[in-house]
Structure 1
Amino acid sequence: MFSPARSCLPASTSVAKHCVRNVLASSYATVRSTRPSSLPEPDEPDISSNDFILSILRANPSLRDTKSYLQSFGPRVRPVQQSTLHAPDLSLPPFPTSQGAVNSTQDPAPVHGVAKYILNPIHRRTALVKLQGPFTDRQLESVAKGMVYLEKLGLTSVIVVELDDWVRGEPNEKANAVDETMRVVSALEQQGARARPILQSVVRLGPKPGDHDPEQHNDDTIPAPEAHTLPQDLNPIRSALRAGEVPVLPPLSLDSFCRSVRVHSNDVLGALARGMVEAAEASNSEASLSGHDNPDDVDLTPLRLMIINKEGGVPSYARNGFPHLLVNLTAECNHINDTFHPSWRSTNPTALENLALARTCLSYMPPSSSAIMVSHRSPKSLIGHLITNKPELSSSLPHALLQGNGKVTAHTPTILRRGLPVRVVNHAADLDHDKLSKLLEGSFRRTLDADAYFRRLDECLDFAIIAGDYAGTAIVTNELPRAESSRISAPEPIAYLDKFAVRPENQGDGTVDFLWVALHDESYGLGLSYAANPNGGKEGRGEGRDLVWRSRADNPVNKWYFERSTGHLRIGKWVMFWCDAEKRLKIEEGRRGYAGLSKVEEWEQGRLSIWAKSIEDIPSSWSA
């Protein structure tokens, strides 16, 4: 099952064909230069021209995805500011929110209008690409075709080659690196691209002058690149991009004696990420001061980092070795290293070093940037990632659903975001009232009755999960069942999801999924081996509890809740959702063996009625 932004795919082949016919005319000029190729080998996927267009349609971008894409590639009004962005002929209304939910998903944008702008990008952007072979000719052809299609969508790759079987210090190591570079250039040109090999060194070994200044890098836990680049070093890359050519670089660097030596591609990519961002910032400053802008210039700021290899993404202990779907580098990097199984060092030997590479590069790139670790078997994933900036499947979907639908395979890509720190607060006194009020009012677009709300939290808060500096929150309270609803003298409190909110500017950057996964680990998923939340709180120890919440029946985000809940019940103007404690379900299934669960277990008798009557008594948090 796809995430909300992707869940409204064309229902029939006829619809898809209709959409293709409407975009073929505008896309003909885009795809006509692609040379036809022979049928691919069974284990090597290929992308035909029709697949290219269908990949765009299957990405099915939401309104927010469309707006984000247009901010990067669409028409702009000077000065370049998000608030002044206009998208002609596309209706992008404000994203509505309503009581009881964060606005975490939107309906898909109109297919015809989206395709019109996606297939005719106005502004070109850059991506850093680590091409990590060795690849066969057929594999390299498939990867090169993916790079060509990304360029047609407005994203020009700056490629650094790397081979896993290279040995440092081997004879002719520089010549071998140059040979592989020319092989990649040839593969790109065979697919209709214009490529330029940049064989001179564009990075220099050692720290950049001024790196001793702590303000040069905000996070001491992220290692600085072991190489650097100066503005004039980037002139060959800038020249190639201006000429409409794809720069392809061998992993070479100048040492302190100005000799060109082969280094690891990660050193080159880290230096380029920093240097290209700084060069773009300097160029934008000069353009602002002069008041002149070159519309044919390419923004050097990397929009994406793509690591294309034979391994795929980062293995996850929670998915039995299948890849992580979405990684919050700020909050999860150490946990991923700690839980990396020794056996994966043979199947995914470079996963952790690529994880470190993504963390280094994204620390310099804009917050909206992301990285993807993808197998050469999944080239079409690059198209969907470019358009939506999301994983193929939402990481916050139920674990059993992700494990059992066959969609997650060893070659499923891993999306990596810089992310935000996530922490668990167990005492209401530790909450910042002003920041939390601002977050809730900004997300729900209503005025909070702050005094009454925080008095209630003082009495019944179970825990609150806070993302970043109050960029998002999930607040869970303990609600006592109504006396007439319970037949026992000391009823267990109901774990009630009181608020789930994300600031509008952080909706679409992965914060929603990061929050829900942490919520799962602290409530209904607690006690399972894969729910060891590394961000504080109970850290996986304890018994899971059923989680209950309500949302207005007309809330557009309910569709997102339907996909993540165990069940729902309509009660007047509300829809009540719940998630069953997963550990209890596993224990019950184990006790019954092959008999399975019955339709209504003994412990389920009457609980919906108790929940429904009890949550109706919860007062509104908002001012009239």
Structure 2
Amino acid sequence: MMLSHTILHGPRILSPVAASALKARRTQTFRAFYATIRSLRQPPPTVEVDDLDPPDNDFILSLLRANPSLRDTKSYLANFGVRPPVPEHAGSIFPPTGLNGSMPLFPKEAPDISVNKQPEQVKPSPSPILSSILNPVYRRTALVKLQGPFTNKQLDSIARGMVYLETLGLVSVIVVENDQVRGDDGERSAVIEEVMRVVSALEAQGAEARPVLGTVVRLGPKPDDNQLPEPRDFIPPEAHVFPSDLVAIRSALRAGEIPVLPPFALDSFCRSVRIDANDVLGALARGMVEAAALDDKDMNSRSCDPHADYSQDINLVPLRLMVISREGGVPSYARTGFPHLLINLTSEYDYIRDTYDPLWSKGKHSSLSNLSLARTCLAYMPPTSSAIMVSHRSPSSLIANLITNKPAVSSSLPHALLQGNRKLTRDTPTLLRRGLPIQVIRSLADVDKAKMNYLLETSFKRTIDADAFYKRLEQTLDFVVIAGDYVGAAIVTNEPSPDSSEPISYLDKFAVLPSHQGDGTVDFLWVALHDESYGLGHPFSINPNGGKEGKGEGRDLVWRSRDNNPINKWYFERSSGHMRMGSWVFFWCDAEKRLKVEEGRRANAGLSYIEEWEENRLSQWTDVITKIPSVWK
């Protein structure tokens, strides 16, 4: 058996043999190679924001800082990669895109469309291969709110970020908002002047931009909206768009230009009036999705031209919502005003509003309104879409978000690591997703076994012995965290320990459907698991997931995983320690409140390698965990 550990709390003694081996390795080299969280728990030095990241003046450097995983790269290519032509009988030269923005898979080799055709039947137009070489990116759209005022230097930095995104295939539809001119005399001319400043800044960075000064949206709810059922507490935008109103935006996009709009709307008297930019963006989000659906329907009904230049087309469905302001993300009660990293709007929206400190409004007066904007827009956009609230000081984060669709730092990392992370600043972006409801179930009778079986068998790709599995849970179940309609689940049991009166808290199963891996569900699920187990007792565990809401004492959480499990890298980052046991890897997370108390007793000395309260606990854990029978057939 080999003893090991992760970056959090150092190694743990299992036996005298292991202890002697560990003592022999306690050299300076060992300490330098294995970093622990104890050094990170000290308050980080005060650093200026500009010192945290190099200047965003290099496109390649911005891509490298994104550090995408293989899954991130595949996801990006699925959205922006070249679309090869489909057979003529399919009725379209591109894959159809529904409201969810999903794309079907294509065969490795496209059919030879020129077989058995006379030369005169082939139109002398550019071939798809040539088009893909000249313009290899399938372009998508993003809705962008520029909430100024910005200086010329700040606007140049933002414009450079917009140009980078366009290079990667994401074309921005920008709505300009200037907080300084609300209600002032001559505000209309001031807003138009701000629009022209944005256009000039974009053109100075090499982009082509077009001011769309005419009214695109119409004031008031869309006709017949009162007949449609709305989700609870959902407030639709106070404006609407018909597909015919998007002519100016379509024209700009097809001409390779970035449309820049003022927050104007046409009222019932056909007057152009200024409205809140959030209503303009909400109307555009809905209108562009509806227009794209009509485009798909029309495209599928037309005959196919296999030689059409498909690389010039743009999918109108917004893939991202970006709010760029001087304020940055939404302040979090769990981080003393530092921004939220990732927000599940379905389950966290109301609680974030309820816990918002009025003192934060002095510096971030529009955080809650932008939170509401994200909720409105994402309700119309595809489930895979996301919103990001970012400061003008962090334009490179837009590149990372586009490629990875993840927050700057994972919200499911241990709290101690997050608190000591040098990347967390007042300007750290907040990523928002529509998300899923999270519920905690403590009775096996309330578990939908058919859905649970499907989730486990689909995730693990194995057949479960349901009778044996649920018979064991009847005796040991502590709680189950369910994401959505059983698209993810974490099952925790109480395993009796012969050497202790307190049972062992064991993560029996952690599963997410493959279709929801990479959309934030894994992080949402682990955060809820943290709040119900080893994170209990801390104020940052008070989340509205139907569980204990942070009340109680945290308990050590343990689990095991096959040594060839690809998710182990993710487990290494989130566990307090790990130990290899043959073909298994044993993980554990220490109760965070107890660690905090122990640290307080030692002042600045920190924790030693082995504490009195953890002697022999690994042997107790492994004796119990290794005897748990497999539930797979």
Measured against the shorter chain, the TM-score band is 0.7 to 0.9
Q: Using the TM superposition, give the Cα deviation of residue 120 of structure 1 relative to its aligned residue in structure 2, in angstroms.
A: 6.4
Matches within 5 A, 1:443-592: 443-481=459-497, 483=498, 486=499, 488=500, 491-592=501-602
In the other structure, the counterpart of 1:371 is: 387
Matched residues in 1 for 2:613 and 2:390: separation? 44
Is 1:399 equivalent to 2:415 in the alignment? yes
1:120·1:153 contact (CA, 8 Å) conserved in 2?
no
Matches within 5 A, 1:64-463: 64-77=71-84, 78=86, 79-80=95-96, 82-85=103-106, 121-168=136-183, 170-215=184-229, 217=230, 219-292=231-304, 295=310, 296-463=312-479
CA deviation vs aligned residue, 1:563-598 (integer Å, no higher than 9, x gap): 100111112221110001111111222233334323
Q: Using the TM superposition, give the Cα deviation of residue 167 of structure 1 relative to its aligned residue in structure 2, in angstroms.
A: 2.1
1:253·1:262 contact (CA, 8 Å) conserved in 2?
yes
Q: Using the TM superposition, give the Cα deviation of residue 121 of structure 1 relative to its aligned residue in structure 2, in angstroms.
A: 4.1
Q: Using the TM superposition, give the Cα deviation of residue 67 of structure 1 relative to its aligned residue in structure 2, in angstroms.
A: 1.8
Question: Which ranges of structure 2 fall in alignment gaps of 5 or more residues?
Answer: 1-5, 8-49, 87-94, 97-101, 110-131
Going from structure 1 to structure 2, the CA distance change for 1:45 and 1:312 (only over 3 Å counts) comes to farther
Query: After the TM superposition, which of the residue ranges 57-66 and 74-83 deviates more from structure 2?
Result: 74-83
Segments ≥4 residues shifted beyond 3 Å: 41-46, 77-83, 85-88, 117-121, 291-294
Matched residues in 2 for 1:119 and 1:336: separation? 47
Going from structure 1 to structure 2, the CA distance change for 1:146 and 1:414 (only over 3 Å counts) comes to same
1:44·1:139 contact (CA, 8 Å) conserved in 2?
no
Secondary structure (helix, strand or coil) at the match of 1:349 reads coil
Task: Write the letter of the residue equivalent to 2:242.
Answer: L
2:439·2:547 contact (CA, 8 Å) conserved in 1?
yes
Is 1:599 equivalent to 2:615 in the alignment? no
Is 1:59 equivalent to 2:66 in the alignment? yes
Task: Write the letter of the residue equivalent to 2:505.
Answer: A
Q: Normalising to structure 1: TM-score of the pair? A: 0.85
Q: Using the TM superposition, give the Cα deviation of residue 221 of structure 1 relative to its aligned residue in structure 2, in angstroms.
A: 1.9
Matched residues in 2 for 1:597 and 1:149: separation? 46
Matched residues in 1 for 2:304 and 2:364: separation? 48
Q: Using the TM superposition, give the Cα deviation of residue 42 of structure 1 relative to its aligned residue in structure 2, in angstroms.
A: 8.8
Secondary structure (helix, strand or coil) at the match of 1:299 reads strand
1:550·1:574 contact (CA, 8 Å) conserved in 2?
yes
Q: Using the TM superposition, give the Cα deviation of residue 187 of structure 1 relative to its aligned residue in structure 2, in angstroms.
A: 0.7
Matched residues in 1 for 2:409 and 2:188: separation? 41
Matched residues in 1 for 2:303 and 2:467: separation? 50
Matched residues in 2 for 1:346 and 1:128: separation? 27
Matched residues in 1 for 2:454 and 2:51: separation? 55
Q: Normalising to structure 2: TM-score of the pair? A: 0.84
Q: Using the TM superposition, give the Cα deviation of residue 46 of structure 1 relative to its aligned residue in structure 2, in angstroms.
A: 4.4
The one of 589, 604, 627 aligned to 1:617: 627
Larger radius of gyration: 2
In the other structure, the counterpart of 1:47 is: 56
Going from structure 1 to structure 2, the CA distance change for 1:57 and 1:193 (only over 3 Å counts) comes to same
Task: Write the letter of the residue equivalent to 2:631.
Answer: S
CA deviation vs aligned residue, 1:239-292 (integer Å, no higher than 9, x gap): 100000000000000111010001110010000000000000110111012144
Matched residues in 1 for 2:259 and 2:275: separation? 18
CA deviation vs aligned residue, 1:509-552 (integer Å, no higher than 9, x gap): 00000011111000000011111121111111111000000011
Identity of paired residues, percent?
A: 65
Q: Using the TM superposition, give the Cα deviation of residue 71 of structure 1 relative to its aligned residue in structure 2, in angstroms.
A: 1.6
Higher relative contact order (CA 8 A, sep 6+): 2
1:196·1:245 contact (CA, 8 Å) conserved in 2?
yes
CA deviation vs aligned residue, 1:325-377 (integer Å, no higher than 9, x gap): 11111111111111111211112111110000000000000001001100000
In the other structure, the counterpart of 1:10 is: none
2:531·2:542 contact (CA, 8 Å) conserved in 1?
yes
Going from structure 1 to structure 2, the CA distance change for 1:507 and 1:417 (only over 3 Å counts) comes to same
Matched residues in 2 for 1:119 and 1:403: separation? 46
Task: Write the letter of the residue equivalent to 2:205.
Answer: Q
1:71·1:85 contact (CA, 8 Å) conserved in 2?
no
In the other structure, the counterpart of 2:92 is: none
Matched residues in 2 for 1:328 and 1:395: separation? 11
Task: Write the letter of the residue equivalent to 1:84.
Answer: L
2:351·2:543 contact (CA, 8 Å) conserved in 1?
no
Query: After the TM superposition, which of the residue ranges 595-604 and 605-614 deviates more from structure 2?
Result: 595-604
Q: Using the TM superposition, give the Cα deviation of residue 231 of structure 1 relative to its aligned residue in structure 2, in angstroms.
A: 1.0
2:62·2:396 contact (CA, 8 Å) conserved in 1?
yes
CA deviation vs aligned residue, 1:380-411 (integer Å, no higher than 9, x gap): 11111111111111111111111112110111
CA deviation vs aligned residue, 1:115-170 (integer Å, no higher than 9, x gap): xx9996421110000001100000001101110111111111000000121223x2
CA deviation vs aligned residue, 1:576-624 (integer Å, no higher than 9, x gap): 100011111112222333343232222111110000010011110111x
Task: Write the letter of the residue equivalent to 1:201.
Answer: T
Question: Which ranges of structure 1 fall in alignment gaps of 5 or more residues?
Answer: 3-40, 89-116
1:133·1:309 contact (CA, 8 Å) conserved in 2?
yes
Query: After the TM superposition, which of the residue ranges 193-202 and 73-82 deviates more from structure 2?
Result: 73-82
1:311·1:347 contact (CA, 8 Å) conserved in 2?
yes
CA deviation vs aligned residue, 1:16-71 (integer Å, no higher than 9, x gap): xxxxxxxxxxxxxxxxxxxxxxxxx99997432xx211221232322221221112
2:56·2:62 contact (CA, 8 Å) conserved in 1?
no
Going from structure 1 to structure 2, the CA distance change for 1:455 and 1:151 (only over 3 Å counts) comes to same
Task: Write the letter of the residue equivalent to 2:302.
Answer: S
